[in-house]
Structure 1
Amino acid sequence: MEERVRKVRSDKKMGINPIISIELNDALARLGYVCDRPVKDIGETLVVLALNNREIINTIARKFRRPYWYTDTIMINGDPELPKMKWVIQGDTVRPGLRFSQPHYEKISELAYALDTSKIKAAALLLIYATHNEQCLSHLLTKYVKYQLDHRRMENLRRVVDYTNQGKPEQFQINIPILLNHIYYCMGDNVKPIGKAVSKWMSGLGLDS
């Protein structure tokens, strides 16, 4: 009898469990509460955002010992004479279970190869940089705010952005991600889901009546 070979789903996700500090995990949990999403969703999203952030990749590239293809046409050279990246985390650590699509998993593997380290360490490094990158945080908030705000509130956000940008030079104009990031930081210790924070902020402007 011919043995049947089980097909592997093309959309199957691959797991990576980065080792991160308690402090970083707390930051992910805080973002998770703000976005009303589990920590694993926040971690996965931030890693992917970091992979596509040229500023972050250029910073990490200083540690490359091998070449890395940022895109199909952009290659960043590595220096084999660089010492291998040391990885020491002080204090307690956790290992969130993150899962990535095949393309993203392969991209993390390529980054790990360029760094001459493991996928676990490469993913952790991306998380660290992403949580300190304003652009990544802005895109994260934008990604999840649409699940929490109705069309009317999103339209009001766009009107606020359009009004704020009137007469401003292009380099000083804002967009919705920048506005959401501003609202997020204005919350300070009074952290709350971003949808509620935006609604409260709009109420203060008389836009949520």
Structure 2
Amino acid sequence: MKKILIGLLALSATAMATSTGITTGTGDNSIDISTKAFIINSGLIITESPNEITAIKSVELDHGTLMIGRNEDSSVDRNVYIRKSTGSNLPAGAVLEIALTSTGNNLVNGSSSIPHTLTAQIDTNATSTALNNSLVVAGDTIKSKTEFTVVGSDVNAVGINLKSEIAQGNLATDKNLVEGAYSNTSTLSVKLSKVPTVTGTPVTPPAQESGR
């Protein structure tokens, strides 16, 4: 009887440690419940340099003065950086969702407009990867996003090159553009979309004493 009891206890402990989710021959069923959390000590910010921890509210891409009928394209760019507000390294294995969004892709002056292409080029390196490292809004595309995975524990900042390009054809004399200032507002956003995988050690049920 004691041997049977010990055998049943062993089977019970095994079932608790390695649940399969499959109904047993006696109609019983069990599943494992895994509970996880990942804590970060600061939020994400966008800065003007890889060494700063002061967030910026906006950047300006200024094409300057452009002559109607010019025979070359115009482009202007600027670098920004994604960092933690504490200045510490980004969590290894974290996934950042980076998005470029526009309400429209024209620089506007009243009823007159000039199409432009806005690009956010993510700086990937040996310790960082992205599904798509070039975000573009142009034409009918008003939102572009990607997931950026931080690989390794020594990534302190993620650089992004923002570039606005105006094709020379959009400044042709036959476009009848009015003279004056043209502008457009778009948004670069980032959030922590996935936390690193948290691995845990399976808990083995405590040994149970046999009947006395």
Scaled to the shorter chain, the TM-score interval is under 0.3
Structure whose CA Rg is larger: 2
Normalized per residue, the structure richer in strand is 2
Q: TM-score, normalised by structure 1?
A: 0.23
